[in-house]
Amino acid sequence: MQSLPDYYACLNVPRSASSDEIRQAFRKMARRFHPDANTDPHAAEEFKLISAAHETLTDPPRRAEYDTRLLAFDIPFSIEAVYSRNSLRAMSDPQVVYCLLNIKTIARAKRITPPLNLCLVIDRSTSMQGARLDHTKSAARQIIEGLNENDFFSIVTFSDRAEVILPSQSCENKPLILSKVNAIQASGGTEILEGLMAGLLELQENINPKSINHLTLLTDGRTYGDEENCLLLGTLAESDGIVISGLGIGDEWNDVFLDQLTATTGGESLYIHSIEKVEDLMVKQVRGIGGTMAQRLRLQVTCDTDVKLRSAFRIYPEAHPIAVDDQPLRIGSIPPIGISSILLEFVVKTGNDSRQNIARVSIMGDILNMGRIEEKVSADLTQPISNSAKAEPPPLAILQTMDKLTLYRLQEKAWAAAEGGKVREAAQHLEVLASRLLTSGERDLAQTTVEAASRLGNTHQIPSDAKKRIKYGTRAIISKL
């Protein structure tokens, strides 16, 4: 089925609106989104859409035809917005409003489980020798056991070069596939680019927009000099509809790079801090992909005049920051549970109206459980303006989310300070974080943080193992429901 924009929602009018009401609504929306009035780079696109809505809905025969199509069309997912305040204050200074967007797939009796097109790209460098590789192979075996016959699967290993251990194929002959896994041996360096390229080529063999096309990269090392090219490959993968996830084992791998690489595709990076957890995390990650309800979600935030999107953070599933300078924002997928949450932080200057429009948000993506691709749903974020200085308490959902997000931001601050040579400041941030973790019941992570603060103070070196534990540990706290 072709995607159908909801023209009524675009103009913010009821479906029973008269032609006059539609014209009036169009004039109001045109003032909001006309490129002469709104400098947001995506305002023009929005303006085109409302113009089309106006044209269709004010022409009775075309409106009747559109209405028939709209009736037969179900909205694939819903957007719910929770704000940090129930009104903005009338004032000339800028003010902050946080908005928690909950994106929910519509529950339906009939569900389609889309086929998987999966490639495991496994680091087999010398440092993987022994327990690391043994656990990884055991994880791969468990993943294979769980695959369906119509899933496509491939395995690539890499060290200085990449080898296609198992070319992309359906999973009818599992004994053969398992024997390939058992033959993997460790030796050599870590050239991620080689592995990535070979893995993407395997996925291309059986790529299908209605499948889940996914590359899972597992590494314990650092790739040197080819990061830029890896990121470029990530961009290409994204445009082909392939999601890349990364799992890092031990302390040597580059978390900043893996974050960047996976974020370009809307995937996630995970930290495996002890080798006993390899099976657990790898198998869980792949199972999670299999039940994906919606994938390749992109969020377009078109701000109103005098509004700025300051930050975005994915809260659920797998919390991580989202860069806001490159729209549309890649916000990943909706897991089997059917919900994904994004926190947006806006800086707003209020105007003279009694309501302040903040932004129009549009979410685009593939709704796999309904077998529909390239869907789009929009919603308007607005707040009333009040003259009263009395503030209502923020909703609990926002307070809890922000409280947990503050933990993550404290450690970001600490590492940034440490990298800038401000060791004392960094250690202080870590100490504050430790006491807050302690009172949140995160005893182990608090202990790690206290130790990291004193190691940093003594050696003036960032303890890289503790850094990863704290970074991924505080992320995990955010996405705990």
Partner 1 sequence: MIICPNCKHEEYDGTLFCSECGVRLWQDKQGDDTANIGHEASSQTDRIGIANLEHEYPAPPSGQIFIRIHGVGTSMVLTGKAEYILGRKDPRTSSIPDVDFGPFGGQQMGISRQHARLKYGTDGVSIIDLSSTNGTLVNGKIIAPNESRHIRNGDDIRLGKLAFSVYFAEKK
Q: Which residues bind partner 1 (CB under 8 A)?
A: 84-85, 88-89, 91, 93-98, 347, 389-391, 393-394, 396, 398-400, 402-403, 405-407, 409-410, 413, 429, 431-433, 435-436, 438-441, 443, 446
Query: How many other C-beta atoms can be found within 10 angstroms of the C-beta atom of residue 221?
Result: 21
Helices 423-439 and 443-459, packing angle to 10 deg = 170
**Cβ nearer to partner 1, comparing 44 with 347:** 347
State the nearest-atom distance from the C-beta of 466 to partner 1, in Å.
18
Instruction: State the Cα–Cα distance between residues 470 and 464, nearest whole angstrom.
Output: 10
**Cβ nearer to partner 1, comparing 237 with 343:** 343
State the nearest-atom distance from the C-beta of 400 to partner 1, in Å.
6
The answer to whether 215 touches 242, Cβ cutoff 8 Å, is yes
Place of tokens 């897991």: 335
**Cβ nearer to partner 1, comparing 225 with 441:** 441
**Cβ nearer to partner 1, comparing 51 with 440:** 440
**Cβ nearer to partner 1, comparing 89 with 455:** 89
State the nearest-atom distance from the C-beta of 174 to partner 1, in Å.
45
**Cβ nearer to partner 1, comparing 110 with 390:** 390
Helices 255-265 and 227-239, packing angle to 10 deg = 20
State the nearest-atom distance from the C-beta of 256 to partner 1, in Å.
21
Cβ-Cβ contacts under 8 Å for 125 (sequence gap 6 or more): 158, 159, 186, 187, 188, 189, 190, 220, 221
State the nearest-atom distance from the C-beta of 72 to partner 1, in Å.
43
Label the pairing between strands 243-249 and 269-272: parallel
Query: How many other C-beta atoms can be found within 10 angstroms of the C-beta atom of residue 80?
Result: 12
Label the pairing between strands 116-123 and 88-89: unpaired
Helix (H) or strand (E) segment spanning residue 299: strand 294-303
Instruction: State the Cα–Cα distance between residues 402 and 399, nearest whole angstrom.
Output: 5
State the nearest-atom distance from the C-beta of 225 to partner 1, in Å.
35
**Cβ nearer to partner 1, comparing 72 with 389:** 389
State the nearest-atom distance from the C-beta of 448 to partner 1, in Å.
13
